A and B are shown apart, each in its own frame.
Chain A
Amino acid sequence: MLDSLQSLGRKALNFFQRLGRGHILLLQILAGSHTLLPRFGLVITQVFSVGVLSLLIILVSGLFVGMVLGLQGYNTLVDFGAEESLGVVVSLSLVRELGPVVSALLFAGRAGSALTAEIGLMKATEQLSAMEMMAVDPVRRVLAPRFWAGVISMPLLAAIFSAVGVIGGYFVGVGLLGVDEGAYWSQMQAKVDLHEDIYNGVIKSIVFGVVVTWIAIFEGNDAVPTSEGVSRATTRTVVHSSLAVLGLDFILTALMFGD
């Protein structure tokens, strides 16, 4: 009984210590970010590695998700004779929910895990320590560019995901199932609101970008510097950031769309 209480206490203490370290790291990254302005090339390089290299998985997934939405949406709408609203169903589902959420989950799996593994291995091989001893602050030189690259890339990837998804829905709905092309696009144009839908979707993806990249960088920086430690940290990144994305999605949706 006492042992389990002790273990619970230790776990709680450990959780709050990690939470504290995570927030301190985020503050350090934000405080050191001004040094990136004259060296924005560092961020661009990372945008390539976390953003551009994630494009393929985002494009392919977006296309299939849009196609499935087109098919499922059509099957439901056709019963009510409302298949011409397919464009609205596909675009709203993507822009409000699936675009930001699914792309963030894919981003966590593809870029988040890579960030954690890279930073964790740099720590394990003393590269971060060596930078410190060369008077180069690893938070500013290594972590901050990766953080901002994630924050910049995430909304762009979500937008690409949604755009490709709309095209996927078009292929299936208009191309295969015979929905009127004019109705598909015009209803979408009429019903999707810039502020209500698009902006809120963008805000969601920015929040997800911050959270996923923050978790990935923290886990890498906080990893036990062994191969097992890095492996555990990588797993934690994917699990924690996926759960954070889904939990935050509910909170943000309730705040944005709950009347």
Chain B
Amino acid sequence: MTDNNSPVDAPLVKIRNLSFSRGSHRIFDGIDLDIQRGKVTAIMGPSGTGKTTLLRLIGGQLRPDVGTVEVDGQSVPQLGHNKLYQLRKRMGMLFQNGALLTDINVFENVAFPLREHTRLSDRLIRTLVLMKLEAVGLRGARDLMPSELSGGMARRVALARAVVMDPMIMMYDEPFTGQDPISMGVLVRLIRSLNDALGLSSIIVSHDIQETAAIADYIYLLSGGKVVAEGTTDDLYKSESAWAQQFLQGEPDGPVPFHYPARDFTEDMLDLPAGEAN
């Protein structure tokens, strides 16, 4: 599934000097990042660091202000409409809330990409869909509507839909948020086993440390628009970076301040002008 121009050992996704802003808020400030083929790579960081934005930049839904985003040797921001859509056929993305189409049932949701992009017979589509639903344990839920599913089930259906076209890369946007422990365990195992069984490359965007660290081959920690630490799980736990330690240990205060910037507490409580509290 690799592009002819792209050697097999080259990173599947190569991001260089990427900067991106929304209005006056700078989300990324010159980050470099590689996603290796066949690996599970995690992008971690506190909420609001632009992890989801990064997935949208890789998927071509957003364009960077500066820098390059290459997927399988192709520069995503420079692709025209048709080439971008061709590339997306080889990408799968699991959205945070599943993003299932609410007017069709579970079976049709998983069959949707096949019906849109292939001319396979109904019989073959049925076989493929049931295989993917079996993999996520929801073959029996094929006739349910999305509104009848729990959050965890919806995410598993969305996962089946995301892999139904056998993509080369899977992107997971906060896959563990809001999951009960059983669903969480199921998802963790599924992501790892799908990656290995289907020969995918996976990107997990998350702030759930334990679950992500358990299955990630390589982790990038983002904060303040920059990559503040990177490495394998062991590397990061051994890292001397105060930022990495604060994030991994879940400490409330450190390089990432607990308090949102505000004026002096005493001044604020007494409603005094700045500098008069003392």
Listed in ascending order, the chain A residues whose CB lies under 8 Å from chain B are 125-127, 129-130, 132-137, 141
List 8 A-B residue pairs with CB atoms under 8 Å apart, sorted by A's residue number.
A126-B95, A126-B96, A130-B101, A132-B59, A133-B93, A134-B161, A136-B112, A136-B113
Cβ of B88 < 8 Å from any Cβ of A? yes
- Docked CA distance A133–B102 (Å): 17
CB closest chain-B residue, reference A126? B99
Residues of B near A135 (CB, < 8 A) are: 85-86, 88-89, 113, 116-117
- Docked CA distance A125–B61 (Å): 16
* Chain B, range 80-117, C-beta contacts under 8 Å to A: 81, 85-86, 88-89, 91-93, 95-97, 99-102, 112-113, 116-117
B149 to chain A, nearest CB (A): 13
Given contacts A126-B97, A133-B59, could you give 16 more A-B pairs where the C-beta distance is less than 8 Å?
A125-B102, A127-B99, A129-B95, A129-B99, A130-B158, A132-B59, A132-B61, A133-B61, A133-B93, A134-B116, A134-B161, A134-B165, A135-B89, A136-B112, A136-B116, A136-B117
Q: Is the CB of A130 within 8 A of B95?
A: yes
Listed in ascending order, the chain B residues whose CB lies under 8 Å from chain A are 59, 61, 81, 85-86, 88-89, 91-93, 95-97, 99-102, 112-113, 116-117, 158, 161, 165
- Docked CA distance A132–B171 (Å): 14
Residues of B near A127 (CB, < 8 A) are: 99-102
Name the one of B99, B117, B165 contacting A130, with C-beta atoms under 8 angstroms. B99
Residues of B near A141 (CB, < 8 A) are: 116
Q: Is the CB of A134 within 8 A of B112?
A: yes
CB closest chain-A residue, reference B87? A135
CB closest chain-A residue, reference B158? A130
Residues of B near A132 (CB, < 8 A) are: 59, 61, 88
Residues of A near B85 (CB, < 8 A) are: 135, 137
- Docked CA distance A161–B97 (Å): 43
Q: How many A-B residue pairs have CB under 8 A?
A: 49
**Given the contacts A125-B102, A127-B102, A129-B61, A134 and B113 also touching, CB distance less than 8 Å:** yes
Q: Is the CB of B99 within 8 A of A125?
A: yes
- Docked CA distance A177–B99 (Å): 59
Residues of B near A129 (CB, < 8 A) are: 61, 95, 99
A165 to chain B, nearest CB (A): 34
A129, A130, A134, A136 pick with most chain B CB within 10 angstroms: A134
Closest CB pairs A-B (n = 10) = A130-B99, A135-B88, A126-B99, A133-B93, A135-B89, A135-B85, A134-B113, A136-B116, A126-B95, A133-B59
CB closest chain-A residue, reference B116? A136
Q: Is the CB of B101 within 8 A of A133?
A: no
A93 to chain B, nearest CB (A): 40
Residues of B near A133 (CB, < 8 A) are: 59, 61, 88, 91-93
B101 to chain A, nearest CB (A): 6
A135 to chain B, nearest CB (A): 4
- Docked CA distance A125–B96 (Å): 10
Residues of B near A125 (CB, < 8 A) are: 97, 99, 102
B43 to chain A, nearest CB (A): 17
B89, B101, B117 pick with most chain A CB within 10 angstroms: B101
- Docked CA distance A219–B161 (Å): 29
Residues of A near B112 (CB, < 8 A) are: 134, 136
- Docked CA distance A236–B161 (Å): 35
**Given the contacts A136-B113, A137-B85, A130 and B93 also touching, CB distance less than 8 Å:** yes
Residues of A near B61 (CB, < 8 A) are: 129, 132-133
A248 to chain B, nearest CB (A): 32
CB closest chain-B residue, reference A49? B103
A136 to chain B, nearest CB (A): 5
Residues of A near B116 (CB, < 8 A) are: 134-136, 141
Residues of A near B96 (CB, < 8 A) are: 126
- Docked CA distance A136–B158 (Å): 15
CB closest chain-B residue, reference A137? B85
Residues of B near A126 (CB, < 8 A) are: 95-97, 99
- Docked CA distance A132–B61 (Å): 8
B222 to chain A, nearest CB (A): 21
A127, A133, A136 pick with most chain B CB within 10 angstroms: A133
A125, A126, A132, A135 pick with most chain B CB within 10 angstroms: A135
